[in-house]
C-alpha cells in the first residue's frame, strides 16, 4: 500500500473513532445522564428518578455511553453504580454547554425566560461570595442530593438538599445572608430555592456556577 493511501486510511479510521463520540451524544437524554453523573456516581435507579425516565430507558442509554467508553460502572451490593469514565468527560460537557450558549441563540433565550419568572432573585459572583464568607455571617448552601455533595462540593458549603430546606431555615437566624447553588447555570432548583428563602425574609442570592464551573472560573 502506498504512503498516500495509508495516510488516507489512517485519517478515515481516526475520524470514524471521533464520530463514535458524536453519535453517542446525539441524544438529549444521554446528555442529561452525563450531566447528572458529572455531579457524582449514581445507581441506575437514582438516574431514573432524577431524570424522570424509566429504568429500562436509562439502562439502554447507559449501554450506549458504556460502548463509547464515556461512563464506567462498579457493583455495590445489589446495585450497579455508574460514573463518568474520566474527568475529561466533565470538561468536555462544560465546553459543550459554553459552545451551545454562544452559538445557539435559543440557549440564552431559555435562560433569560427562566430569570424573568423570578425577577427578585439576584445572582452573586464568585468574588463576592468569597469575600462575604470571610465575614462569618454568610452561608453557602449546596441544595443538591447529599451523595452529590459528598462526591464534591464548593469549599465551605453546607449540604441542605432541596427537600430539607424548609426545616433548615426554621432554625436559622433571620439576619443570616445566604447563597445557594446546585448543578450549574441552567439548574432551576437554585432559583426556586433562593425565591423560597426570599419569601421567608432572608437575604439570599443565587450562585450561577456549579462545582465544576466554580473550580475552573
- State the catalytic residues: 182
- Residue 67 pairs in a beta bridge with none
The burial of 71, by beta-carbon neighbours within 10 Å (0-12 exposed, 13-18 middle, 19 or more buried), is given as buried
Long-range contacts for 51-56 (Cβ within 8 Å, ≥24 apart)? 53/29
List of residues 6+ apart from 51 with CB closer than 8 A: 29, 32, 33, 36, 58
Neighbouring C-beta atoms of residue 77, cutoff 10 Å: 7
Start-to-end CA span in the chain (Å): 49
Task: Scan for cell 437524554, then name that residue.
Answer: 29
Neighbouring C-beta atoms of residue 25, cutoff 10 Å: 18
Q: How far is CA 23 from the centre of its chain?
A: 22
Alpha carbon of 109 to those of 45, 181, 205: distances in Å?
Answer: 33, 21, 22
Half-sphere exposure of 34 (CA within 13 A, CB side): 30
Amino acid at each position: 500500500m502506498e504512503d498516500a493511501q495509508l495516510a488516507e486510511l489512517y485519517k478515515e479510521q481516526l475520524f470514524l473513532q471521533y464520530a463514535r463520540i458524536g453519535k453517542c451524544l446525539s441524544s438529549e437524554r444521554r446528555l442529561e445522564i452525563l450531566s447528572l453523573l458529572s455531579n457524582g456516581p449514581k445507581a441506575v435507579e437514582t438516574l431514573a428518578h432524577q431524570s424522570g425516565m424509566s429504568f429500562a430507558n436509562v439502562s439502554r442509554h447507559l449501554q450506549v455511553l458504556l460502548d463509547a467508553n464515556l461512563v464506567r460502572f462498579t457493583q455495590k451490593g445489589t446495585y450497579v453504580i455508574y460514573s463518568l469514565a474520566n474527568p475529561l468527560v466533565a470538561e468536555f460537557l462544560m465546553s459543550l454547554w459554553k459552545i451551545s450558549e454562544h452559538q445557539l441563540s435559543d440557549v440564552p433565550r431559555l435562560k433569560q425566560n427562566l430569570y424573568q419568572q423570578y425577577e427578585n432573585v439576584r445572582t452573586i459572583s464568585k468574588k463576592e461570595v468569597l469575600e462575604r464568607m470571610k465575614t462569618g455571617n454568610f452561608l453557602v448552601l449546596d441544595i443538591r442530593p447529599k451523595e452529590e455533595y459528598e462526591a464534591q462540593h464548593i469549599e465551605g458549603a453546607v449540604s441542605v438538599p432541596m427537600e430539607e430546606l424548609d426545616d433548615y431555615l426554621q432554625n436559622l437566624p433571620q439576619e443570616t445572608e445566604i447563597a445557594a447553588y446546585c448543578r450549574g447555570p441552567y439548574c432551576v432548583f437554585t432559583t426556586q430555592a433562593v425565591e423560597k428563602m426570599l419569601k421567608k425574609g432572608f437575604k439570599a442570592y443565587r450562585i450561577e456556577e456549579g462545582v465544576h464551573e466554580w473550580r475552573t472560573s
